[in-house]
Amino acid sequence: MSLFFDILAGSLMAAGLIFFVGTVTGMLRFPDFYTRMHAGGKGDTLSTILILLGAAVHVSEDFFHDPIHQWGVLLVMVKILGIAAFLMLTSPTSTHALMRAGFEDAHETDETVVDKDQDGPSLEELQSRTWEERS
Amino acid sequence: MIWQLDLILLIFLVITALISLRVRDLLGASMVFGIYSFLICLLWAGMGAVDVAFTEAAVGAGVSTVILVATVYHTRRVTGGHKRASGMKVLSLLLMLVLGGVLLHASGDFPALGDPTSPANDHPVAQYYIEGSYQDTKVPNLVTSVLADYRGYDTLFETVVVFVAGIGILAVIGVPTARMRREEVCGDTAQFGEDSDLIILQTCRLVVPVLQLFALYVIAHGHHSPGGGFQGGVLFGASYILLALSGGLREALRRLSESMSFRLAACGIVIYAGFGLLCMALGSSFLDYAILDSILPGGVAMARSHSMLIVEAGVGFTVTTILFVIYANLATRGKLEGGL
Amino acid sequence: MELLTLTAQFEWILGKSNYWASTVLLLIGLHAMISKNNLIKKLIGMSIFQTGIILFYVSAGAKHGAQIPIVHYGHDSHESHDKAAHAAEHAADAGQQVAEAAAPAANHAANHAADATHTLGETLYVNPLPHVLMLTAIVVGVATLGLALAMVQKVYAAYGSIEEDEVLDAIADSTADSTVDSTVDRTVKGTPEA
């Protein structure tokens, strides 16, 4: 019985890790800001939720085996699932916030986030410099 | 303490510290500093320091990153390209090598990590806190009981330091004329964030009440779980910062104006110090909660537990409002309009 | 023999790794505060220095196999009453003590044996004192960082740069130039607009 729980928790966490590897590869190898954020936003949310579900399954094993602290274990499971729900709500929102900030940065040349210095680099130079350092 | 995880975290800690200091884009440096804070928070959680990890996650990784980004927004974003005289760098490196050599040599005499019989862990004061604290105060969280009861004096002045930081920021970059205009403008009935993004706005409108409720839970439940006045106060302040980031600073100021912030912060300190003076008025010494048994129900230990909750609420008031004031002033260069 | 000393050496390294990392972080932070040109990099160095100190203290209080510093109340408060040999305050306590004194009933003995490992005297709890001191340190650290960042913004508003050598040059120019009063607050005139 405990082996079943261990295998289930382990496979959920391993699936989360595999998606994370895919996310990181995407963020490193995609050519454009938007494609990178797309990979990051989707993969990050999914893999974190999978890892949290694996942790919840691992904790729920105690629910069946430890009769004294049953409600405590249930509380821990509910809290972990609450964190997963919160992440499901806010991680895509933060991805959206980042992508929108990047969009506004690139297209509204009069109202940029970066302070326009008289002798500092312009925004295009800054972006291209970052891309060159990456490649 | 899983040593594999600890070793990997330590290596990544040093790497991210070096990266955040080498990156030329200051926004990137702030982000890498946030990563550094999260990694060290994981390390402390692995070592059993759950309260410290909670505070570092909220304060170090959350608020520090936000105020660093706010300052970078109002100053230069890129650095580097300036060749300064390298004499100071070489001297500093030599000094670091000497200091490092001395410290590393001294670390040979340290007790091994995690040794329960090391002098720090074997000390009678620490032993008394572990063994006698629950009987004295009926508070299971040892860190909260030591913070708010046995070392309550330190916590009072820590709160005062936070308050002084708020006043100091007001003194350094606060702009009085814009502020007075701000008070007039705040009275009008502007629409909620007319120029902010719909998705972010609606998500934050869902998140902020839950966050505030959770912050109050953390303050109140700090006796039984990791938490307490500081962590809950930071979470509450962060909820106002979230309101400012999503809907505009005007919305956050409408709900918690700067004058109200300072009044609440002062109230927090008055609550804390007033409690101490109350103990003196009843005949005992400053912040000796045991004497409050005469007015609080439940016996001496419960009186100390209740007093701890009240002073933690005071701390929560101060930390909440001062963190919001710090953000509001840094994000707008003191003018409290426009900004991040 | 060689394998044994290798393991012993590795154990020794594991016992010191946190202190070495703390030392390295201290030195990185201190070097950044002294030698970096940019004011914000100096402040990041200051924060790294502070977290290095906190790592040192928390490592000093860590214990292998210890519980987090939250006492398991409920069952354990019963045990601590028994251990301290207080007079029984209510019937349940008296009942437990009587059962203890007599030949142990099977159920209660098993419970008692299971709970014996969770008593205050026998469970290792992590030393709470460094945690308390470091909580204060973290909060004071962020207050200091906020005030320092406000000063950075003021320096930028007054001198137009946050690189240390440019600021020093601007100060030298303004004091050398006798027609400019360096004590005048220039935030109104010379502020670069965001």
Q: What is the ipTM of this complex?
A: 0.91
Residue range(s) occupied by CATH 1.10.287.3510 in chain C = 2-62+127-176
**Global confidence as pTM:** 0.83
Q: How many CB atoms lie within 10 A of CB A27?
A: 17
pLDDT digits (tens, 9 = 90+) for A26-68: 999 988 888 888 999 999 999 999 999 999 999 888 777 777 7
On chain C, the residues whose CB falls within 8 A of the CB of A115 are 192, 194
Candidates A117, C138, C74, C16; CA nearest to B319 is C138
Helices (H) and strands (E) in chain A — how many of each?
Answer: 4, 0
Among B50, B76, B118, the strongest candidate for a mutation testing the C interface, having the largest count of C CBs within 10 A, is B76
Give residue B84's pLDDT: 64
Give residue B37's pLDDT: 96
Q: At B206, list the tokens.
A: 């869902």
Q: Does B100 touch chain C (CB under 8 A)?
A: yes
On chain B, the residues whose CB falls within 8 A of the CB of C126 are 47-49
Candidates A40, A15, A14, A11; CA nearest to A25 is A40
Q: Does A117 touch chain C (CB under 8 A)?
A: yes
Give residue B11's pLDDT: 95
Q: Does B77 touch chain A (CB under 8 A)?
A: yes
Three-state DSSP state, B84: coil
Q: Do B78 and A126 touch (CB under 8 A)?
A: yes
A53 vs A13: CA distance, rounded Å: 8
* More confident position, C23 or B194: C23
Q: How many CB atoms lie within 10 A of CB B157?
A: 16
Q: Are residues B203 and B336 in the same domain?
A: yes
pLDDT digits (tens, 9 = 90+) for B171-186: 998 877 655 555 554 4
Give residue B57's pLDDT: 93
On chain B, the residues whose CB falls within 8 A of the CB of C28 are 14, 17-18, 21
Q: Characterise A75 by phi-psi region: left (phi > 0), alpha (psi -120 to 50), beta (else).
A: alpha
* CB neighbour list of residue A92: distance below 8 Å, 6 or more residues apart: A41, A45
Q: How many domains does chain B have?
A: 2
Q: Tell me the DSSP string of B95-147.
A: HHHHHHHHHHHHHTTSPPTT-TTSTTTS-HHHHHHHHHHHHHH--SBHHHHII
Give residue A135's pLDDT: 38
Among C41, C75, C127, C187, the strongest candidate for a mutation testing the B interface, having the largest count of B CBs within 10 A, is C127
Three-state DSSP state, C143: helix
pLDDT digits (tens, 9 = 90+) for B107-127: 888 888 888 888 888 888 888
Residue B125 lies in a domain: no
Give residue B285's pLDDT: 86
Give the pLDDT band (50/70/90) at residue A112: very low
Q: Are residues B319 and B225 in the same domain?
A: yes
For residues B208 and A90, is the Cβ–Cβ distance under 8 A? Answer: no
Residue B122 lies in a domain: no
pLDDT at C1 over 80: no
Q: Does B335 touch chain C (CB under 8 A)?
A: no
CATH 1.10.287.3510 fits C2-62+127-176, yes or no: yes
* Domain extent for B67: 1-79
On chain B, the residues whose CB falls within 8 A of the CB of A120 are 76-78
Residue B264 lies in a domain: yes
Give residue B83's pLDDT: 65
Q: Are residues B151 and B65 in the same domain?
A: no
User: Which of A86, A117, A130 faces B76 most closely, judged by CB atoms?
Assistant: A117
Give residue C183's pLDDT: 59
Length of chain B: 340
Q: Are residues B161 and B293 in the same domain?
A: yes
Give residue A54's pLDDT: 95
Give the pLDDT band (50/70/90) at residue C96: very low
Q: Are residues B154 and B259 in the same domain?
A: yes
Neighbours of chain C (3+ CB pairs under 8 A): A, B
Query: In the predicted model, what is the mean pLDDT of residues C173-178?
Result: 76
- Helix ranges restricted to H, C36-127: 39-60, 75-84, 91-101, 106-116
Question: Which has the minimum average pLDDT: B145-159, C98-112, C120-134?
Answer: C98-112
Query: Average pLDDT for consecutive 10-residue bins of chain B (340 residues)?
Result: 89 95 91 95 92 93 92 85 74 92 90 84 87 88 92 93 94 74 48 68 92 94 91 95 88 86 93 91 86 84 90 94 93 72
pLDDT at A20 over 90: yes
Q: Does C74 touch chain A (CB under 8 A)?
A: no
The contacts found for A117-122 with CB under 8 angstroms, 24 or more apart, are A117/B76, A117/C192, A118/C192, A120/B76, A120/B77, A120/B78, A121/B78
Domain boundary among B49, B79, B109: B79
Give residue C121's pLDDT: 59
Domain boundary among B79, B98, B133: B79
Give residue A108's pLDDT: 59
Q: Are residues B155 and B294 in the same domain?
A: yes
Q: How many CB atoms lie within 10 A of CB A101?
A: 12
* More confident position, B149 or A117: B149
Give residue A60's pLDDT: 87
Q: Does A132 touch chain C (CB under 8 A)?
A: no
For residues A16 and A54, is the Cβ–Cβ distance under 8 A? Answer: yes
Give residue B97's pLDDT: 93
Three-state DSSP state, B261: helix
User: Which of B73, B200, B206 faces A113 most closely, judged by CB atoms?
Assistant: B73
